[in-house]
Amino acid sequence: MSDIETAEETIPPVAGARLVYLGPVAPHWETECTYGDQSVVDNFRTRTNARLLLLPPHDPQFRRNRERVARDAERENIELVWDLGMPEEA
């Protein structure tokens, strides 16, 4: 029996984006490009705004949409950082 390792190649992210919670008054979110291709982040921002713009972090729909945004960033190979303005819950 042979050991065949299926190692995934780690491709560096094409861009970095930071999602910042702006506060209780809508719009609630801002997507900032931290590095990389600005046009990739601009396209990502459009999709992110469609999912999060009017959702504060305490809204029940936020958790589901946050996961969708994270998967979208993963597909586009964008490094994503969340800034909720409060400590992350475990």
| Beta carbons within 8 Å of 79's beta carbon, 6+ residues apart | 13, 15, 16, 17, 34, 73
pLDDT tens profile 20-78: 999 888 789 999 999 999 999 999 999 999 999 888 888 999 999 999 999 999 999 99
Residue with tokens 């996961």: 67
Q: Which pLDDT score is estimated for 87?
A: 63
What band does 88 get if pLDDT is binned at 50, 70 and 90? low
pTM: 0.79
Q: Which pLDDT score is estimated for 7?
A: 47
